Amino acid sequence: MKNDAPHILLINPWIHDFAAYDVWARPLGLLTLAAILRRHGCRVSYIDCLDRFHPKAPGTDPRARHGRGPYRKTRLPKPRQFPDVPRHFARYGIEPAWFRLDLGQVGRPELILVTSAMTYWYPGVRETVATVRDVFPETPVVLGGTYATLCRNHARSSSGADEIFAGSAEAALLHLVEGYTGWTASPAFNPDQLDTYPFPAFDLQHQIPFVPMLTTRGCPFACAYCAAHLLEPRRLKRSPESVMAELTHWRRRGVTDFVLYDDAFLADPEGHALPVLEAVVRSGLGLRFHTPNAVHIRGITAETARLMFKAGFTTLRLGLETADFENRDLDRKVTAAEFDQAVRCLKRAGFNRRQIGAYLLVGLPGQAPAAIARSIDTVKRAGITPIPAYYAPIPGTALWDRAVAASRYDLAEDPLCTNNAVLPCRREPFDWRWLSELKQQAGGA
């Protein structure tokens, strides 16, 4: 067996899409793997093809918009699958020449790990892997992440990677490295206990405008439109002490904005969220929290609302999905009374309309425009902001077969056709006027 720890390169790939914007997006899983590898003595390099703060990019303020901002954009030919969509297609992220230069500077790695996000972003993954292959033709490439997990066969035939890894990689990581490099190490953490994990290696970024966090993994729900339970079947929680240690670690390094990536932070308030929030309030660290993944409405009480406000929650998103409470076959997460009560609690705690948004799914199979309009009106009457969330069909979910039957594209043949930007489950051709009217009704969201 090899004694010297290997050099491993981790890469976050480009996005190819009609539109993309950095709404607190970072490859948290990949940077967790980087931290685990470093803990075990590996030499780790990292390249983010989406890096808005690349040294060759024009200078931007990392603190603007609490860390959000536009990606660099390069026009690409529109995929042939979308003749009915009058939109421009683009690569989002750093220039290919910058990527090649970065690859040349890291030195030859012994293993390359590439992550993947949305299933329909695979063309960007494929371009990334092809570039890596050109620079390091002898180095094995392993692809993991969301696309690799949900579309494993497609990824195996289309990505260009040597191996497709499905699911969470932490437990198998050291064995994976051993298989490709011959190097062995005894695990210095327990994959089933989140408190034993090292903090994700955000220091590998050029800038740290915000830090994403997971205080839990997994989701107790199995909503018809969501893949959370497929990507992480287990439900794991961190202790308040572990959460506070990470918050304090990054706060000492100047980070103020933290983004909760939890799928169900408020699913068990007494058993998790309340103790965490109480610890944050006691710390007096002066933090801001954002919840782009949404929080569970049923978990919002007067107490949780009060503590979230005192803890510094600034951008609060509610997972409403639809206000058609009488015909709610997508999930059973909330009733009309629970929604109204949650909004009242949040307002009494001090949150204002601009801070509170409710996600509403748009483009579901068979969804009538009038139903969307009614949901938008319901949210507006509650005094908060409706936020359209455009539906992307996901293989393996309960809604998948209905989506395939409803789509004007062949969803099962090509994940690219599941892109939510084209509203794939509307039978009618893409309609800018209808979409503009919807956005106007929602208040420009």
Cα 147 from Cα 116, distance rounded (Å): 6
| First and final C-alpha spacing in the chain | 56
* Class for the domain spanning 7-181: alpha beta
Cα 278 from Cα 146, distance rounded (Å): 33
Cα 91 from Cα 6, distance rounded (Å): 32
> Could you give the angle at which helices 369-381 and 432-441 cross, rounded to 10 degrees?
20
Which residues, other chains included, contact 295 with Cβ-Cβ below 8 Å and sequence gap of 6+? 260, 265, 266, 316, 317, 318, 319
Would you list the domain boundaries of the chain? Answer: 7-181, 210-441
SS3 390: strand
Cα 7 from Cα 162, distance rounded (Å): 18
The DSSP-derived string for 15-35 is EEES--EESS---HHHHHHHH
Please give the DSSP secondary-structure letter assigned to residue 91. E
Strands 211-213 and 69-70: unpaired
Backbone φ and ψ of 405, nearest 5°: -70, -30
Q: State the pTM of this model.
A: 0.96
Nearest 5°: CA angle at 231, between 103 and 183?
45
Cα 246 from Cα 240, distance rounded (Å): 10
Sign of CA dihedral 372, 267, 30, 62: positive
Nearest 5°: CA angle at 158, between 414 and 24?
75
Write the Ramachandran bin of 94: left for phi over 0, alpha for psi from -120 to 50, otherwise beta. beta
Q: How far is CA 273 from CA 220, 237, 277, 280, 299, in A?
A: 15, 10, 6, 11, 9
Give me the residues paired with residue 389 across strands: 361
Within 10 angstroms of residue 304's Cβ, the number of other Cβ atoms is: 23
One pLDDT digit (tens) per residue for the chain, 445 residues: 667 999 999 999 999 999 999 999 999 999 999 999 999 999 999 999 999 999 999 888 999 999 999 999 999 999 999 999 999 999 999 999 999 999 999 999 999 999 999 999 999 999 999 999 999 999 999 999 999 999 999 999 999 999 999 999 999 999 999 999 999 999 999 999 999 999 999 999 999 999 999 999 999 988 999 999 999 999 999 999 999 999 999 999 999 999 999 999 999 999 999 999 999 999 999 999 999 999 999 999 999 999 999 999 999 999 999 988 876 677 777 899 999 999 999 999 999 999 999 999 999 999 999 999 999 999 999 999 999 999 999 999 999 999 999 999 999 999 999 999 999 998 888 888 888 999 999 985 4
Instruction: Quote the tokens at residue 405.
Output: 């039957």
Give me the residues paired with residue 89 across strands: 76
* Class for the domain spanning 210-441: alpha beta
Same fold, 7-181 and 210-441: no
